[in-house]
Homo-oligomer: A and B are copies of this chain.
């Protein structure tokens, strides 16, 4: 069985877990402590980032967006229309643009800042350092723009990249779900964004994400609530 090296509150890890679950793939989950990666982990992925996917054919794939493309090519092909990758090159470009938007831009401007400062540093104990209030303030300012952008897309399209559920929705939902766990999503910024997230949240693939619990960091009261 393939192995996924992940952390429950790592948004890129959640993105890959959602892709795996949508494709009905079972994996062994190995938890890696964020901010405390060792030499053995760096040998798997020199970039030191989570997640890493070790496939049955001994291929080791890192970078969430790259793993998702790999899974779409090796598993998604079986799903035809529901492969999470749109049919045309133009639509695929739009899905990939949004994967990059959420996985890189939103992640670095919001999720990484808030999750690192509010949770991961605490989990890392004395090695984590103290929370940086400037980073927290920046994350809390930036999240409003990102929720409004999801809202803008959700008002115009059935799913974020178009007519069908795609990798873009899962990449966005992975970021949002980590922020919702720590109660940092200003849902009042967008009704359409909220309705989109409620739809994603009710999918079978989302159940393990909603069941995640991080020791020493309880989820926000509405985290699992479908009518939040």
Residues of A within 8 A of B (CB): 46-47, 55, 57, 59, 61-63, 65-67, 69-70, 73-74, 89-90, 92-93, 96-97, 100-101, 104-105, 149
Does B105 contact A93, Cβ atoms closer than 8 Å? no
Does A59 contact B100, Cβ atoms closer than 8 Å? no
Does B70 contact A105, Cβ atoms closer than 8 Å? no
For the complex, would chain A's binding face be called helix, strand, loop or mixed by DSSP majority? helix
A155 to chain B, nearest CB (A): 15
Which residues does chain B contribute within 8 Å of A100, judged by CB atoms? Answer: 63, 65-66
Which residues does chain B contribute within 8 Å of A69, judged by CB atoms? Answer: 92-93, 96
14 pairs across A/B with beta carbons < 8 Å? A47-B101, A47-B105, A59-B89, A59-B90, A61-B90, A62-B97, A63-B96, A65-B96, A65-B100, A66-B97, A66-B100, A69-B92, A70-B90, A70-B92
Which residues does chain B contribute within 8 Å of A66, judged by CB atoms? Answer: 93, 96-97, 100
Does A92 contact B73, Cβ atoms closer than 8 Å? yes
- Report how many copies the assembly holds: 2
Given A97-B61, A100-B65, the answer on whether A70 and B89 have CB atoms closer than 8 Å is: yes
Does B47 contact A90, Cβ atoms closer than 8 Å? no
A55 to chain B, nearest CB (A): 8
Which residues does chain B contribute within 8 Å of A65, judged by CB atoms? Answer: 96, 100
Given A46-B149, A149-B46, the answer on whether A61 and B104 have CB atoms closer than 8 Å is: no
